[in-house]
Amino acid sequence: MPSIASSLIVQFKNCRLVRGGTIVKDDLWVRGGRIVNPEPVFFDEKVQADLTVDCYDALICPGFIDIQINGGYGYDFSSDLDKLEEGMSTVAKGILATGVTSFCPTIVTSPTSVYHEVLPKLKRTPGGKEGAGILGIHLEGPFISPEKKGAHPPEFIQKIEGVNKVYDIYGNLDNVGLITIAPELPGALEVIHHLTAKGIKVSVGHSNGNLEDGEAAVNKGASFITHLFNAMLPFHHRDPGLVGLLTSQHINRPVHYGIIADGIHTHPAALRIAHRTHPKGVVLVTDAMAAMGLGEGHHYIGQMEVLVKGQKAQLVGTDTLAGAIVTMDNCVRRFIKGAGVTVVEAIEAATLHPAQVMGVDHLKGTLDFGSDADFLLLSDKGPLKVLNTFISGQCVYAAPEAPSISYRDPSGKKFSHK
């Protein structure tokens, strides 16, 4: 089906919307790639919808946003440099079926040469029929704790030593949206302040730091915790570590925190504890690596070889988890079941909250008037299932079992997209 002209007003009918923290029975109106308020259309412009779509009682929610994804479908963003464009295209296209409309390609701890080669190439891009949009690169390392390195190669971990060192390692930061730093490292606070002043979001993670280290980082501008509970000191009643940021009274802003709800990285009880402690802060991330979308076998995350068995990815010869192979739609389903949250709460953890982290919630993560028309048609008759993915009001994915998307003009003429 050809693209719907941006000047046309499209009315999605017979649907329910995730809007304002609840599910409402209403229509969704789209024009020019944005969600519009129908009242001015009726009363000021005195026009009707150019096209209508019957959604067959589907649930419509904002498109999912994944701010930590290392690769997928056989490609790794940190190591497959000769196939970087091909890999990025494959992943961006593939995750449309999982409901992801925007993402942050994540580069793990790597040699300096990798940063200098990759960072200029991964530009922010709008999404479309070719794949999900890029909100900015997530740099997970190399300024992390060697004691909490996880699957990061120790030989490439760096000390901070000031702002100049950061630029020496990374090179140009124009395409970077988020950086994970261990806050206890000497020089970290100065760097966090500098980066956040430039508009780059900073997360604390892969850290051996205590709660005071985390609080100091947040007060310098950090606003996120990378995969809570993983690669950090465990919660202790005398020093709760970075986990304590969820309830700290000594920080100048609330923090968000990433959760990998794959049934492996985070126990359902831990999901419940985190959510019930700070429900407005939870952000579902996949932390997916190259094996996402593939079967068992040997794969890579950055410079490290990984063996996938069942649903678990581990560094070869160790029991260290090396990213995940879960998809975002599966994370949402697991979060509903494991944490006992509502459908709306789970959806907001994959939409509104990551948009807030990246500072784009005025455009993405909601169905508010004026937001980008990036949204999903979901079946909630049983397990939540992505039926259709829309970006800028255009259908970019349809599940095989999804009803045909049929557009009707005022004369009744119909054409479909399957």
Q: What is the CATH number of the domain that holds 290?
A: 3.20.20.140
Q: Which of 104-118, 311-325, 378-392 has the lowest mean pLDDT?
A: 311-325
Of 323 and 91, the one with more pLDDT = 91
300-323 mean pLDDT: 80
55-80 mean pLDDT: 95
DSSP symbols for 322-352: --B---HHHHHHHHHHHH---HHHHHHHHTH
Which residues are known binding-site members? Answer: 140, 151, 206, 227, 230-231, 238, 265, 321-323
The answer to whether residue 236 sits within a structural domain is yes
Same domain as 260, residue 395: no
The answer to whether residue 221 sits within a structural domain is yes
What pLDDT is stored for residue 1 in this prediction? 41
Q: Which residues of 60-93 are buried (b: 16+ CB within 10 A; e: fewer)?
A: bbbbbbbbbbbbbbbbbbbbbeeebeebbebbbb
The answer to whether residue 338 sits within a structural domain is yes
The answer to whether residue 372 sits within a structural domain is yes
Same domain as 303, residue 155: yes
Is the pLDDT assigned to residue 3 strictly greater than 90? no
Report the domain count for the chain: 2
Query: Which among 327, 357, 387 is the end of a domain?
Result: 357
Cβ distance 259 to 266 under 8 Å?
A: yes
76-89 mean pLDDT: 93
Same domain as 105, residue 55: no
What pLDDT is stored for residue 418 in this prediction? 52
CATH number where 405 lies: 2.30.40.10
The answer to whether residue 3 sits within a structural domain is no
Same domain as 398, residue 310: no
The mean pLDDT value of the chain amounts to 93
Same domain as 14, residue 93: no
Query: Which among 332, 357, 382 is the end of a domain?
Result: 357
What pLDDT is stored for residue 291 in this prediction? 86
**295, HSE (Cβ side, Cα atoms, 13 Å):** 0
Same domain as 69, residue 53: no
Is the pLDDT assigned to residue 42 strictly greater than 80? no
Amino acid 3 reads S
Report the C-alpha gap between 159 and 176 in whole angstroms. 20
Which residues are known binding-site members for Zn(2+)? Answer: 140, 206, 227
Against a cut of 0.75, is the pTM above it?
yes
Same domain as 235, residue 181: yes
What pLDDT is stored for residue 119 in this prediction? 97
Report the C-alpha gap between 98 and 280 in whole angstroms. 23
Is the pLDDT assigned to residue 263 strictly greater than 90? no
Same domain as 348, residue 371: no
Of 294 and 251, the one with more pLDDT = 251
116-121 mean pLDDT: 96
Of 404 and 371, the one with more pLDDT = 371
Cβ distance 397 to 97 under 8 Å?
A: yes
Is the pLDDT assigned to residue 2 strictly greater than 50? no
What pLDDT is stored for residue 417 in this prediction? 58
What pLDDT is stored for residue 320 in this prediction? 85
Is the pLDDT assigned to residue 200 strictly greater than 60? yes
Query: Which among 308, 326, 357 is the end of a domain?
Result: 357
Same domain as 155, residue 54: no
Of 315 and 106, the one with more pLDDT = 106
Is the pLDDT assigned to residue 204 strictly greater than 50? yes
Tokens, residue 407: 């557009």
Same domain as 374, residue 350: no
Tokens, residue 235: 């919660």
Domain hosting 28: range is 10-62+367-417
Active site residues: 287
